[in-house]
Amino acid sequence: MSRLAKKPIPVAPKTEVSVAAGSVSVKGPKGTLVKRVHPSVAIEVTPQGVVVTPKNASRLAKALTGTFASHVKNMMKGVDAPYRRVLILEGVGYRVEQKGKNLVLTVGFSHPVTLAIPEGITASVEKNSIALESIDKEAIGQFAADIRRVKPPEPYLGKGIRYEGEVIRRKQGKKAV
């Protein structure tokens, strides 16, 4: 069994956690998140906090206890303070603009790439950076990965879309003999 799930997860004062009909919901000052629970995992709310236990002794149930403990922690942290991801565009002529609920990326292709911003995520564009905010860690991480996948940074010139704080290992390139 996971070490994460052995101790109860403490609940913040302004956060409410409830379990009903195979799903766990976390309500806080920033919003509400609901997640379905796998049938081989049991989640209980006790005075000490949220306890995640396996329903049986199978390998899958033991593995999923740590996963769901992590999900519950992320949900509680998100409804308390939203998650933030920043992506940076590097390259000559690389631009991004927000048109309504879409991001339009001009990153060296023959056409601009349009990505729809999912529900629950707020995006703001400043010069060559995209700032994303959401209470759902999974949704913001997936959308940031989708944006980065449009033009990942390349190792020779460093052009592309990268996360803030991400270090790109540069390669040397050709040498003149």
What is the pLDDT at residue 176?
74
Q: In the chain, what are the domains? A: 16-80 (3.90.930.12), 83-163 (3.90.930.12)
Confidence of residue 2 (pLDDT cuts 50, 70, 90): low
Closest to 15 measured CA to CA, from 6, 24, 3: 24
* pLDDT tens, position by position, 140-149: 999 999 999 9
Asked if 19 and 43 count as a contact pair (C-beta separation under 8 A), the reply is: yes
* pLDDT tens, position by position, 90-108: 999 999 999 999 999 999 9
Give 37's DSSP letter.
Answer: -
* pLDDT tens, position by position, 16-66: 999 998 999 999 999 999 999 999 999 999 999 999 999 999 999 999 999
Please enumerate, as own/partner, the contacts of 21-28 that have beta carbons within 8 Å and a separation of 24 or more: 24/72, 24/75, 26/72, 26/75, 26/76, 26/79, 27/79, 28/76, 28/78, 28/79, 28/80, 28/135
What is the pLDDT at residue 6?
84
